[in-house]
Amino acid sequence: KQEVTQIPAALSVPEGENLVLNCSFTDSAIYNLQWFRQDPGKGLTSLLLIQSSQREQTSGRLNASLDKSSGRSTLYIAASQPGDSATYLCAVGGYSTLTFGKGTMLLVSP
């Protein structure tokens, strides 16, 4: 059964820093990997989708990488802003399900 781990569980940084969130998974037989953002008590906002054949995807200040063989993905956030404060979820896509990590809670202070 797929297991997804996100490290760190929480992260606090000053505004302007570049940061990396980590996601690891146990079964490399995946179709894709999605990164989501979730504000407290709110829904999921999809940030980036990486297909299993891809190595990385970029959207604005966000860059996600995927190394299927080692079971790892990273989400890089450049020049962090207070508005980036949220919980970031990594979800690994099998054929019939997404398996989620428990998330990294990010706080960016002004």
Contacts to other proteins by CB under 8 A:
31-32, 34, 36, 41-44, 46, 49, 89, 91, 93-98, 100-103
Q: How far is the CB of 25 from other proteins (least distance, A)?
A: 14
Q: How far is the CB of 100 from other proteins (least distance, A)?
A: 4
Residue ranges of E strands in 26-85: 32-38, 44-51, 56-59, 62-67, 72-77
CB nearer to other proteins: give 2 or 63: 2
Task: Using the structure block, give the residue that is written with the tokens 């990273």.
Answer: 74
- Cβ 39 vs Cβ 86: under 8 Å: yes
CB nearer to other proteins: give 61 or 102: 102
- Cβ 25 vs Cβ 40: under 8 Å: no
